Structure 1
Amino acid sequence: MSIKAEHVTFEYSPGTPFAKKALDDISLEIPEGKFVALIGHTGSGKSTLIQHFNGLIQPTSGRILVDGVDIHAENVKKSDIRKKVGLVFQYPEYQLFEETVEKDVAFGPGNLNLTEDEIASRVRRAIELVGLDFEEYRHKSPFELSGGQKRRVAIAGVVAMEPRVLILDEPTAGLDPRGREEILSQLKRLHENYGMTTILVSHSMEDVADLADLVLVMYEGKVVMADVPKVIFSQADRLEAMGLASPQVTYLMRRLKEHGFDVPSDIIHVREAAEAIAAALGKGGECK
């Protein structure tokens, strides 16, 4: 399922002294099946944009198309769009409320007019897809779990609705390193095994480099860059001018190259960097 924005502009409090243009004539397409990262400095419009993708916000002007259909057309039900495009907000565990993990994950599918067997099947599948053992966790209270586990249960609640697009707004915010690693590994697994189009809003350039097929860069309400991670992060000066950065390993490799080591300067992955450094040292480790 593809999502397309055509000349989308959005203004908060239009016609008042507090009017502010959050999105400014954005046109873009999210390709089907891709893992897309959306990055930008705080206030660049990221969260506003993703809320347009499932109809939570309507553009002041322009259109959002899901599989070629204008989601704000008169004959289109928003509930149908939200079954296809799932959105996980920051700190989704604050929305957990049922007494057991199983019941919480079942809440969304329970509103889709499904049979009890289908709901049960979806709940089991979703809990296992986010890396939790169904039998071990089904009867536990979600409030007794760790932060990372709560976050995974909240994501499972959206996954159980089997959307074709999964949007996540800073899914690792506030987690400790272990919880953060758990979430990221499960997002990668979800994308690979479930095949859904995934859109990730993140401030971590390392996470973006590891996960994304395509990176969209927002600045002052516009999408100003769109390319594969290696191309985006090769433009460190441009990113820094917008309050962003490349992954730390990219800066390391550039410094090594500046000091004469025979290594590429466009590396964005730690493993790739280790291999390049080992190769350079294998040549004698000498500076040119």
Structure 2
Amino acid sequence: MSIKVENLKHIYAPNTPFETIALDDINIEIKTGEFIGLIGHTGSGKSTFIQHLNGLLKSNYGKIFINDLDITDEKISLTDVRKKVGLVFQYPEYQLFEETIEKDIAFGPRNLGLVEDEITQRVKDAMQLVGLEYERSKDKSPFDISGGQKRRVAIAGVIAMKPEILILDEPTAGLDPKGRDDILRNIKEIHEKEKNTIILVSHSMEDVAKLADRLLVMNRGKVEFFDTPKEVFKHEERLKQIGLDVPKVLDLAKKLREQGFDISDDILTIDDIKLEILKNLKEK
């Protein structure tokens, strides 16, 4: 599903001494099936923005179109919107509540009024996508598993609703390196299999550089950049001015060039730089 945002503005506590402009004239368009990385310093408006995309917050001004459907229209059923736009909050495991993993993942599909066979199939499919074995895990308590596994269960609960747009707010926050890598691999596999539109909110420049088709960079409620990772990270000085950084691998590439290595300007990931170094060594 595509997303089109026109002149979106959100003000907290309007007409009071505490008035704060959280979103200021946002205009963007996201194509069906794109993987978008959403980055910005704390307070940039990221969380406010994604909560507008499935109707959790109502805009003061502007419109949001999901596949040409204006979800800011007062006549629109937000329940129907949330069936199409799934939002995984930061630390989603705190929202787990059922006695078994299967029941927790099945909660959303069951509320859709689906028959039991369809619910079970959706649970199985969602668990497979997040790397959980159905027979081995379905009867376990979601409170007796590791933090990384809890995160997977929470994500599976949203995936089981089959949203055409999946928004993930810092899905790797607080996880150890293995748990983080596992979750990111699962998200990539979900995107490849489901062909859905994904918006990943992250503080990790390395993660978004590796996964995203385009990066939406926010600063003080405005869109600072909206372009490919390669183009966005060319603005290193400006990114640092607004409290962000570039992937560490770009610093390494710069130092290698200073040492006489012929390193491509297209470097974004560790895998990229490894290939470039090996190519240089072979040539020497």
1:41 corresponds to which letter in structure 2?
A: H
Aligned partners of 2:113 and 2:246: how far apart in 1? 46
1:96 corresponds to which letter in structure 2?
A: L
Deviates more, 1:258-267 or 1:272-281: 258-267
1:33 aligns with 2:46: no
The corresponding residue for 1:183 is 183
Paired residues of 1:257 and 1:264 also in contact (CA < 8 A):
no
The corresponding residue for 2:174 is 174
Structure 2 counterpart SS, 1:142: coil
Deviation at 1:67, TM superposition (A): 0.8
Deviation at 1:259, TM superposition (A): 2.7
Aligned partners of 1:139 and 1:84: how far apart in 2? 28
1:99 corresponds to which letter in structure 2?
A: E
Runs of 4+ in 1 over 3 A off after TM superposition: none
Gap change, CA 1:214 and 1:31, over 3 Å in 2: same
Aligned partners of 1:120 and 1:256: how far apart in 2? 53
Paired residues of 1:24 and 1:222 also in contact (CA < 8 A):
yes
The corresponding residue for 1:88 is 88
Structure 1 counterpart SS, 2:217: strand
Deviation string 1:45-91 (CA, Å, 9 cap, x unpaired) is: 00100000001011110011111111121321000000000000000
1:230 corresponds to which letter in structure 2?
A: K
1:275 aligns with 2:275: yes
Deviates more, 1:64-73 or 1:181-190: 64-73
Instruction: With the length of structure 1 as denominator, give the TM-score of the two structures.
Output: 0.97
Instruction: With the length of structure 2 as denominator, give the TM-score of the two structures.
Output: 0.98
Deviation string 1:176-222 (CA, Å, 9 cap, x unpaired) is: 11110110010000000111110000000110011101111101101
The corresponding residue for 1:233 is 233
Deviates more, 1:258-267 or 1:67-76: 258-267
Q: How many residues align?
A: 284
Deviates more, 1:72-81 or 1:150-159: 72-81
Aligned partners of 1:11 and 1:57: how far apart in 2? 11
1:139 aligns with 2:139: yes
Aligned partners of 1:151 and 1:104: how far apart in 2? 12
Paired residues of 1:101 and 1:140 also in contact (CA < 8 A):
yes
Aligned partners of 1:255 and 1:117: how far apart in 2? 58
The corresponding residue for 1:248 is 248
Deviation at 1:110, TM superposition (A): 1.1
Paired residues of 1:254 and 1:265 also in contact (CA < 8 A):
no
Structure 2 counterpart SS, 1:175: coil
Aligned partners of 1:222 and 1:183: how far apart in 2? 29
Aligned partners of 1:57 and 1:23: how far apart in 2? 12
The corresponding residue for 1:153 is 153
Aligned partners of 2:50 and 2:279: how far apart in 1? 42
Deviation at 1:258, TM superposition (A): 2.1
The corresponding residue for 1:103 is 103
The corresponding residue for 1:208 is 208
Structure 2 counterpart SS, 1:239: helix
Aligned partners of 2:72 and 2:268: how far apart in 1? 39
Gaps of 5+ in 2: none
The corresponding residue for 1:14 is 14
Aligned partners of 1:121 and 1:278: how far apart in 2? 46
After superposition, the CA RMSD in angstroms is 0.9
Paired residues of 1:234 and 1:266 also in contact (CA < 8 A):
no
Deviation string 1:147-204 (CA, Å, 9 cap, x unpaired) is: 1100000000000001000000000000011110110010000000111110000000
